[in-house]
Structure 1
Amino acid sequence: MSLSRPETKPRDPDAEHPAERNLRLNTYALIVSNLLTGALGLVFWIAAARLFPAREVGIAAAQINSAVMLSFLSILSIDAIYERFLPVAGTHARSLLKRGFLLVAAVAAVAGSALVVFGPKESLFDSGWTMASYPLLVVVLTVFALLDKATAGLGVARWSAAKNAVHSLAKLIVIVALAWTDEAVTIVAAWGATAAVAAVYLLIALEHRSRSNPQFLGIPYLPSRQQLWSYFQSSFGLTACWAIGNLAVPLIVLTQVGAEANAYFAVAWAIIIALYVTLDLIVSPYVAEVAAHPDKVMSLTWRMIRTLTLVTCVGSISLVVVAPAMLNVVGAQYRDEGQGLLYLAGIFLPLAAVTAVYEGFARLQRRLRLLLAARFVAMLVMVGGSLILTRAVGVSGVGWACLAAESVAATALLGPAVLWIRRAQSGKALVQR
């Protein structure tokens, strides 16, 4: 059933609608935050490379990257539910938040424990203490990540932007202060402990908003349980494809090329992932705002596309021109090993933007099967290609595999994305409750 909420009083046609203003504020805050987070993230790994042995950096990078990817998998697509349905959850918003966070924390603990038991222990962990604390790291990073979509669903994605920026600065300060330890566990602890503090603070703020904001004190407009379950299943499939692919790749580099090569890979990959996250963070508040204000679908859509296009162009140019020079600051070996991956990322980032745009449209319609099929095939290409090509060309093999994967997805989704825009322009109702 399509949503329609007519405005209660005439407005100046040139005036910015509150939904457009909120989208603008949230989007710009997320972009600025992610740029700062990406820059400080690179400085974090530069500091780690300068202050710690390459082997310790490689081990820490593998632990952090694997925990981050497990956190995405542990979220169980609850983040997609929050992004899409919290804006219309009304009085149910508070219970959705509590149940969701408790569920993903439990799943994260199990997932982290499973990797400790069944994963490559010899390559990934250097002590029993790090193995024992690893599940807690996964729990913290899972809650930390879920907050991004929870804030978007509550209309305050800019709060998450502040959280990410503060975390990036805090973990850098900690790693520099504790550099004398000279061990991988220090790098991991600096990342995890600061994330825990930021997450607790923001959870308290979201609890207050869900209890006091008028938007979440009204009647809920949620779909049936069957429809929610269908959306959940497809969203979980998308989350699994993303998490499995990005969990496997660092482990492939670690096992196929070695810990030192993984250190070189981690710095370049951190830059690329920051841009991927930026694309997602631009689309996320768009979905939330259109869900809450479906009568503004076209104005919000064009605003999102313009912003995404600008960020993608700047990001691709930066990957080719700026990022290699930044790697050179870390060390000549880091640039030699990582610049090929960065050049390839400059090519496949626009392809990833096509997929990101279509994902926003698909979530509004609650039709995710085509997106899921494209993402699944792309994940297989990414993992299989990385496994084969890293043996032949090293770290750059991941870039070639990602280029092939993003090409497959963009080819499948570009046509449907254009069709969606044309239908929206013709006035057809495309936003489903």
Structure 2
Amino acid sequence: MLARVGRDSLARNSVLIMASTVGTSGLGYLYWMVAARELPRPAIGTATALISAATVVSMVANLGLGHMFIQRLPGAPAAAWSRIVGAGLLLGCAATAAAAVAAVLVLPRIERNFGFLNGPVAAAGLVATAVALTASMLLDYVFVAHRASQGMLWRNLALAVGKVVTLLGLTASGLTAGRLSGSAAVVLAWTVPSLAVTVVTLRWSLSRLRPGYRLGGALAGAGLAGELAHVRGSLTGHHLVNLAQAGPSALLPVLVTARLGAADNAHFYMAWMTASVLFMVSPAVAAALYAERTNAAGRSASLPRASLVTLAVIGLPAAALFLFGGRILALFSPGYAAGGGPLLKLLVLAALPDAITNLAVAHWRSQHRLRRCLRLNLLMAAACLTLTWLWLPSRGIEAAGFAWLAGQSAGALMVAVLALLGRLGPLRRDAAPAGAALVRRLAPPHPRGADRRPLLHPVMRGRPAARLGHRTRPAPHARPRSRSWRVP
């Protein structure tokens, strides 16, 4: 079984991406368990609200460069590879920093529950966290583009271990009880390891992935200026699809904070993080499927195989979370189990339609049907966010679960309808020749005279005869030949 997975590029990279996700999620449980047991709930709520806002900023401002990496990096020469990666990272991080500053200035003025961003420490934390998230995401796509997801696995495991170790060090040193607030400790432990791992990846890992890589390749010649055209194409294409696809998951914690406050967001975030183990499986397989079809050596990757990989991985964890999710949340504290248990069940139910829509979007991306991807994602985003905003005051954090399930189910229904129409399409095309023949029989004869088409020579079918004044002579080389090689 392991040998078969090792030979199958789609399965291997899907498993590696999912292993990265599972390992990161497992260490993430440990990270938030330490935070929940050592720090008060309001501090956890504030920290999760800040991290969620930074995630939204990073998602909006990364310019869709990750999918551009998948399209352009395989097969690129070393100099062009360095320019693409360097310019993409520089432009993406610069745009993220500018968007984060704008968020610091705007969010506290439009929603009082984000008033904590008025402080300089929280403002700097939002900017640094958003930039770290963008750099980390873009480097992950570099490894996925080369079907070398093992680099992504080790990088994310090192990042997750660094977060846990840093948080343990801050809480054990007593800084959280003195000069450093609890929320600042959580954000600091979240961001500093990410920046450190990014530096190590840029300095050593990329040169092993692509021999000849130069860190300053983006600044050589017309590096940045030459990449702007590709960035604009990525911004108007894949980035809009990405925003509509990942926007609801990133915005839900922000909406919960805005409507209910930071304390309720702590309950929501723990349940959401627990369910994210399921929501990360299908995007991992979808990313591997898209990378396989973009790479010339893996264009045979099929949607049924990707679906089987997803179902095989998602089945057992989904059943375990649905049956024992309350006990898992109780590891943080009994209050988190009571507040987030029903929400977790709703999120688990939404995992299947979420997998359907993610794989459908990856399939359509590989066929360059970006408008269809965008319409599907916009339908789900509009349903989820609108229902969440309307239901939160009356139903509490469970409203986000109902809205997420409704949005994903609407998207899966749209995929089913489009698949049915696609199956009916060949039937309509097969019936066309008989109808076309009937039309030809009933059509009037072609008009004679000046409007008549040029005569075709009886031997050279499809070739018009040459006209010389009012006389017509056969086209050259029109002499009929015998069945033998010799001309009689």
Q: TM (normalized to structure 2)?
A: 0.75
Deviation of residue 415 (structure 1)? Answer: 4.5
CA distance in 1, matches of 2:350, 2:15: 23
Partner of 1:67: 54
Mapped pair 1:245 → 2:232: no
Please point out which of 289, 303, 326 is paired with 1:286: 289
Letter in 1 for 2:191: G
SS class of match (1:211):
coil
Does the CA-based 8 Å contact 2:5-2:11 persist in structure 1? no
Higher mean C-alpha deviation, range 285-294 or range 252-261: 285-294
Please point out which of 75, 100, 103 is paired with 1:115: 103
Q: Which has the higher contact order (CA 8 A, sep 6+)?
A: 1
Deviation of residue 377 (structure 1)? Answer: 1.8
Letter in 2 for 1:265: F
Partner of 2:24: 37
SS class of match (2:331):
helix
Partner of 2:463: none
CA distance in 2, matches of 1:243, 1:28: 21
Mapped pair 1:101 → 2:100: no
Partner of 2:220: none
Please point out which of 152, 170, 174 is paired with 2:166: 174
Please point out which of 251, 258, 268 is paired with 2:271: 268
Mapped pair 1:341 → 2:329: no
**Unaligned stretches of 5+ residues in structure 1:** 1-14, 214-224, 424-433
1:160/1:35 Cα in 2 relative to 1: closer, same or farther (>3 Å)?
same
Deviation of residue 319 (structure 1)? Answer: 2.6
CA distance in 2, matches of 1:54, 1:291: 46
Q: Percent identity?
A: 22
CA distance in 1, matches of 2:284, 2:380: 21
Deviation of residue 90 (structure 1)? Answer: 4.5
Partner of 2:321: 319
Partner of 1:234: 237
1:309-356 Cα deviation digits (max 9, x unpaired): 112323421331233211012122211111111111111110011111
1:166/1:316 Cα in 2 relative to 1: closer, same or farther (>3 Å)?
same
**Unaligned stretches of 5+ residues in structure 2:** 214-227, 426-488
Deviation of residue 394 (structure 1)? Answer: 0.8
Deviation of residue 277 (structure 1)? Answer: 2.5
1:69/1:318 Cα in 2 relative to 1: closer, same or farther (>3 Å)?
farther
Aligned residues between the structures: 397
Letter in 1 for 2:151: W
Does the CA-based 8 Å contact 2:51-2:126 persist in structure 1? no
Partner of 1:359: 361
Higher mean C-alpha deviation, range 277-286 or range 144-153: 277-286
Please point out which of 272, 276, 280 is paired with 1:277: 280
SS class of match (1:168):
helix
Does the CA-based 8 Å contact 2:62-2:134 persist in structure 1? yes
1:61-112 Cα deviation digits (max 9, x unpaired): 0111211222122211111111233224445332211111111001110111
Partner of 1:209: 209
1:67/1:417 Cα in 2 relative to 1: closer, same or farther (>3 Å)?
farther
SS class of match (1:195):
helix
CA distance in 2, matches of 1:227, 1:140: 23
CA distance in 2, matches of 1:231, 1:417: 27
CA distance in 2, matches of 1:27, 1:254: 34
CA distance in 2, matches of 1:73, 1:155: 26
SS class of match (2:63):
coil
Letter in 2 for 1:152: V
CA distance in 1, matches of 2:15, 2:190: 25
1:421/1:90 Cα in 2 relative to 1: closer, same or farther (>3 Å)?
farther
1:28/1:352 Cα in 2 relative to 1: closer, same or farther (>3 Å)?
same
CA distance in 1, matches of 2:75, 2:288: 14
Deviation of residue 307 (structure 1)? Answer: 1.0
Does the CA-based 8 Å contact 2:5-2:12 persist in structure 1? no
CA distance in 1, matches of 2:82, 2:418: 35
CA distance in 2, matches of 1:212, 1:301: 35
Mapped pair 1:136 → 2:124: no
Partner of 1:153: 145
Q: TM (normalized to structure 1)?
A: 0.84
CA RMSD of the aligned region, Å? 2.8
Does the CA-based 8 Å contact 2:125-2:188 persist in structure 1? no
Partner of 2:196: 197
Deviation of residue 235 (structure 1)? Answer: 1.2
